[in-house]
Structures are given as C-alpha cells and as structure tokens.
Structure 1
Amino acid sequence: MALTTGACRFGLWWVHVDWSKDCVHHVSFAKTGAEGPVPPAIRAYCAGRLRDQISLRSVATEDGAPYAAVYRAVCGIPYGSTATYGKIAWECGTSPRVVGIAMRRNPTPLVIPCHRVVAQGGLGGFTPDVSIKQALLAMEQQD
C-alpha cells in the first residue's frame, strides 16, 4: 500500500500527514513544511471550515494496536468538547497515567483528537507545543 505524504497550515504550524485512501497513518506538527496533498477533511479542519469529527480512520484504532481502546474512547469526544484523562481512563478501565502515555504516543492527532483530553486542574500537555492544543481548542469553541 502506497502512502501519500503532504502538509497544510494550521496557524503558524505545518500539519504533516501520511495517509492512504481513508486511513491516516501519521500526523505531526512542525514549524517548517511545504504544501502537499492531505485528506480534504484535515485541510478543512485546519482552515476552521469543518465543525465536526474528522471522518477518517486511524491505524491506531485498529484492533490489536497499542492503546486502541483509549484512542477509540477519545474519538468519542464531540467537537468543541473536552474530557479529562480520568474520565477517559474510567471509560477504558485503566489509569489516567496510561491515558496520558497514549496521548503522548498518539500517531494521528486531529484524527484521534487528543487535544480534547485535558487535565482535571488544567490543560495538560501536547507535543510538540501546548500552544497548538490551545489553538485547536480555541478554534473549536468559536461559533
């Protein structure tokens, strides 16, 4: 299976995407990049034009993938909403620390909206920079 690699802008950041058909294999953020093909849903989301879940599959939610149950629970967080690490942990029968590890290792942010998972007393982290999480959440709060 051949992967397509491309990038689009989200504010000051580049969103790099490796994908094939309706399945995303990897998403990362960088300060540099060049325009290239990305799934239309990701491009629309990054431009603030998609006000719903990104309707693409992630390799990380497939049965047998590490943390698949956690990632599927996170995919259930509606656009514009958040859930705590503790709530997701309770839903999955695990600990908040495991959820945090899964979020840090999420290979497909945006498709698995890990930015919507927050700490009970604050925002929590985001790789490579928490300002991306802040910007994503702010964009989703706009009407």
Structure 2
Amino acid sequence: MTKGALISSLGLYLHVECTGNKVKRISLSYELPDEPSPLAERIAAHLEKGAPCPSVELDLSGCTDFQKRVYSTVQGIERGERMTYGEVALLTGRPGAARAVGRAMATNPFLIIVPCHRVVARGGLGGFALGLDVKERMLALESLEGSG
C-alpha cells in the first residue's frame, strides 16, 4: 500500500514509504497512491509553497558512508539555491569526486528532503531520473518570488 500526495504544479504524486518512525523512501510518480499521507502533503507544501521542510528521521541503513555525507551536505542547500556536483564533492571531503556525487544523486531515495534537484552540473542542469523538464519545474517552483 502506497501513501502520498499530489504535487499539482508538477502533475506528479509524491510517495512516502516509512519503516516505523523512519522514512525509507520518498519518490515522485505518475501513479496515484493508495491513500493520502500527511507527511507527503507537508513535503509537497514545502516544494510548492515554501512551507518549512518537515524534520524527519531518514532510514540511511542502505546507504554507504559516502552517500550519507553527500546527502547531509545536500540537505544544507537552501531553497532557491544551487550547488554543482563538484562543489558538493569538495564539501564532503572528496574533491574530484563529482561523478560519484552525481551517482549518489541519481540513487537518492529521499527526494525533496535531500534536494538532489538543487545539485547541477557546472555547465547546465545535469541529470534527473524523471527528466530535466521536471527538474527545471522543481527549481522554478523554489525560485518564484512570494512562493512562501
């Protein structure tokens, strides 16, 4: 059974999976969730309207130490800001590991809470699992004046 909420401005559903009190996975999908999720609604409101980002405990048990450092660094990127893969690599103590950061972003199980859409290539947007058009729209939502 999936739980989630609609992100109307993207035309996508935010799905949230939890194990106990920990968030195991947050993803975007075109599929309607089985039931609503108050947490998914709060995360969607953060992205769409600039509401405070919910404070949640992430289940990092399936992540490598490098991924944990990258995800922690990326959580520090403020709404409306961007950072390059290389800058994230430098801040995690692994200068030159921009490609590894890109891989960590591609496998990020905590979308929006770990805002991988805010990590871009030096010369452009980089990649995004649901396509660059979705990444562009997510970034645009966050940079709109008066979105909060």
SS at match of 1:120: coil
1:43 maps to 44
SS in 1 for 2:16: strand
Report the Cα offset of residue 38 of structure 1. 3.9
Displacement of 1:19 in angstroms is 2.4
- After TM superposition, the score normalised by the length of structure 1 is 0.84
Secondary structure of the structure 2 residue equivalent to 1:29 = strand
Residue among 5, 8, 28 paired with 2:5: 8
| Superposition TM-score, scaled by structure 2 size | 0.81
Check the 8 A contact 2:50/2:142 in 1, yes or no: no
Matched position secondary structure for 1:7: strand
The answer to which structure, 1 or 2, has the higher relative contact order (CA under 8 A, 6+ apart) is 2
- Residue aligning to 1:137: 139
Which residue of structure 2 aligns with residue 65 of structure 1?
Answer: 63
Could you say what secondary structure the match of 2:36 adopts? Answer: coil
Deviates more, 1:17-26 or 1:128-137: 17-26
AA partner of residue 65 (structure 1): C
8 A Cα contact 1:71 1:112, kept in partner:
yes
Paired residue for 1:117, among 114, 119, 132?
119
Within 5 Å, give how 1:85-124 maps onto structure 2: 85-94=85-94, 95-124=97-126
1:33: Cα distance to partner? 0.9
Report deviation, 1:13.
Answer: 1.0
- Would you identify which runs of 4 or more consecutive aligned residues in structure 1 move more than 4 Å? none
The root-mean-square deviation of aligned C-alpha atoms, in Å, is 2.1
Structure 1 runs not aligned, ≥5 long: none
Query: Structure 2: how far apart are the matches of 1:140 and 1:43?
Result: 12
Gap runs ≥5 in structure 2: none
Q: Determine the C-alpha separation between the residues in 2 that align with 1:96 and 1:68.
A: 15
